[in-house]
Structure 1
Amino acid sequence: MLCFRLSAVSFGTLATVLALTACNTTPVDETIGWSPEKIYSEASQERAVGNFDKAITLYEKLEGRAAGTPLAQQAELDKAYTYYKSNEQAQALAVLDRFLRLHPASPALDYAIYLKGLVNFNDNLGLFGSLAQQDLSERDQKSAKASFESFREVVTRFPESKYAPDSRERMTYIVNSLADSEVHVARYYYKRGAYLAAINRVQVALTDYANAPALEEALYILMKSYDALGMTQLRDDAQRVMQTNYPASGFLSSGVKSVTGPWWKLW
């Protein structure tokens, strides 16, 4: 039988080699000796070229190095924006919620609230664009409504903010889009003979989205649904409202639009 005995000398040598190997695998912090301004500059450059993970790491280092300073607050906001640009909406919202909680008097508060609206706006992109193949009756509108509330807060609390004009435009867009979605679903139900369901969706649109362009068709669907149910008094009431508000409406002559294709191609 062969026996191998590890001497004290060889054991010590092995331990030294293992220790050196461990040391060699320890990541080197390249930011040691950097000023906060340099870290911020490097993070911004990394983000500009699409290295989002590296930029986020640098912003987090800056938050620690410059804690309690305006630059640390800026790093938090830039980190949130970087998450947003990398389509990490949940992380972006978490950073912004923390910022709003810890810095309620920040001079950048209007931007933080605006950015929160922007994150939710894009999170619900399917409602407004490329993912609109899904039937709207199945789509969650929570993000769009949260986005609207953030933009409304900017406009209400900071009417002179440079972010207020864009917030107003996005609010209008959200309202019109949500109204469109309700009317799309109402039209879907009407075409399939589900008149009560169509009436319910129209009433939501009329109540929640006053002055939206889609309300012209909403009133027409309401009128036709009441007529199909034999509710003549309510039909006549809906017709009077429609003729008063849209005296030249083409719906009275051409009827309800077809329900073919994705809704965003119908408006």
Structure 2
Amino acid sequence: MHRHSRGLCVGLTMMVCMVWFAAGCSSKPKTTADAKPVSGTDEQIFLGDTIEKNYDPNVIMKRGEAFFDKEEFAEAIVEYQHFLELHRAHQLAVYAQLRLAESHLRMAKSIDRDPEPIQKAIASFEKLRKEFPGSKYEAQALQRIADCHDWLAQTHLFVGQFYYRRASYLAAAHRFDQIMKDYPDKKVAPEALYYLALTYQELGADDWAMEKLQLLAEKYPNSENTGDGRRLLAKLEKKSSPPAPTVAAKTDTPTSQNQSSTTLLAASVPSSSFAASAPPSIPNLKNSPALSLGQPFVSCRLGAWC
């Protein structure tokens, strides 16, 4: 009897343990395969909206870094700007300024899109150099500024070629000329100068086109566009060269021309017309200034005073 009771107790105990174990397994939270971790940052910084979290520099910086790691750059920009507005004198302020500029730069898609993010990135990097001179990020900022200007030069070239293909030559010339003024040392400058000459040619300004082609050969002798530029220059110079002088036909001498014209005039006017017409009235020359100066008058053939 005791043995039977002891076995029953052991069985009940094992059943209770199995039920507890099953309940523990079923209460374990399930993870979804598509769940994306925020970052290595503590996710508690995104929970709640307390005053302490809105003003704590560490929390603001962690939020900015989390958004940056997730490539949500618009949200990261908000956090970095918020940090700089509240904690400009913080030791991480220069880093926040760098990440702000990098966020603007990462928002740029391609050269055929709006260049506003690139322009904002340049302004942010320049602000870093101005407000935090001598920082360890200054060299990086200078390199990023150069990269941004390369981007803008390529954008101007792309837009200029777009206008050129659509025969909007004035708009195209404006873009190409802007590259030569702002970015003459960039990689796209020779191509922009060549297209500027082509644009002037299409506008009928061959003199300006030849001037730009000569500049292309002098300033960028090893560029890919220089060969085409020289051929176009030779074509325009040949077109603008004056034609060879032609030998004028031999004409009659002036004496013979005067004699022939006099003969024709006498033949065309009948002699009776002179007899029928009234004689011309002779002006009173008594007080004429010509007489006072002793200048004689000569009577012309038709009776007029010369």
TM-score interval, smaller chain: 0.5 to 0.7
Cα deviations across residues 82-139 of structure 1 (Å, max 9, x unaligned)?
A: 1122122222111112111111212222111110111111111x226xxxxxxx2xx2
Q: Which moved more, 1:112-121 or 1:59-68?
A: 59-68
Q: Is the 8 A contact 1:199 1:225 kept in 2?
A: yes
Residues in 1 aligned to 2:141 and 2:54: alpha-carbon distance in whole angstroms: 30
Gaps of 5+ in 1: 1-48, 129-135, 256-267
Match of 2:167 among 193, 211, 215: 193
Q: Which residue of 1 aligns with 2:284?
A: none
Match of 1:88 among 56, 72, 81: 72
Question: Could you tell me how far 1:205 is from its partner in structure 2?
Answer: 2.4
Q: Structure 1 vs Structure 2: percent identity of aligned residues?
A: 23
Q: Is the 8 A contact 2:41 2:62 kept in 1?
A: no
Residues in 2 aligned to 1:158 and 1:244: alpha-carbon distance in whole angstroms: 41
- CA gap of 1:159–1:243, structure 2 versus 1, over 3 A, is farther
Letter of the 2:144 partner, please give it.
R
Residues in 1 aligned to 2:139 and 2:106: alpha-carbon distance in whole angstroms: 18
5 Å matches for 1:9-158?
51-52=37-38, 55=41, 57-60=43-46, 72-124=56-108, 126-127=109-110, 136=112, 139-158=113-132
Match of 2:225 among 233, 251, 263: 251
5 Å matches for 1:178-257?
178-254=152-228
Alignment TM-score, normalising by the size of structure 1: 0.63
Q: Is the 8 A contact 1:100 1:109 kept in 2?
A: yes
Q: Is the 8 A contact 1:56 1:79 kept in 2?
A: no
Q: Is the 8 A contact 1:189 1:198 kept in 2?
A: yes
Residues in 1 aligned to 2:42 and 2:208: alpha-carbon distance in whole angstroms: 59
Instruction: Kindly name which structure, 1 or 2, has the bigger radius of gyration based on alpha carbons.
Output: 2
Gaps of 5+ in 2: 1-34, 230-306
RMSD across aligned positions (CA): 3.0
Question: Could you tell me how far 1:57 is from its partner in structure 2?
Answer: 4.2
Q: Which residue of 2 aligns with 1:40?
A: none
Q: Is the 8 A contact 2:45 2:53 kept in 1?
A: no
Q: Is the 8 A contact 1:63 1:73 kept in 2?
A: no
Other structure's SS at 2:100 match: helix
Compare the two structures and name the one with the higher helix fraction. 1
Question: Could you tell me how far 1:250 is from its partner in structure 2?
Answer: 2.6
Question: Could you tell me how far 1:64 is from its partner in structure 2?
Answer: 5.8
Alignment TM-score, normalising by the size of structure 2: 0.56
Question: Could you tell me how far 1:193 is from its partner in structure 2?
Answer: 2.9
Count how many residue pairs are aligned between Structure 1 and Structure 2: 195
Q: Is the 8 A contact 1:202 1:219 kept in 2?
A: yes
- CA gap of 1:192–1:60, structure 2 versus 1, over 3 A, is closer
Which structure has more relative contact order (CA 8 Å, sep 6+)? It is 1
Residues in 2 aligned to 1:227 and 1:238: alpha-carbon distance in whole angstroms: 10
Match of 1:167 among 117, 137, 141: 141
Other structure's SS at 1:52 match: coil
Cα deviations across residues 127-161 of structure 1 (Å, max 9, x unaligned)?
A: 26xxxxxxx2xx21111110111112223333432
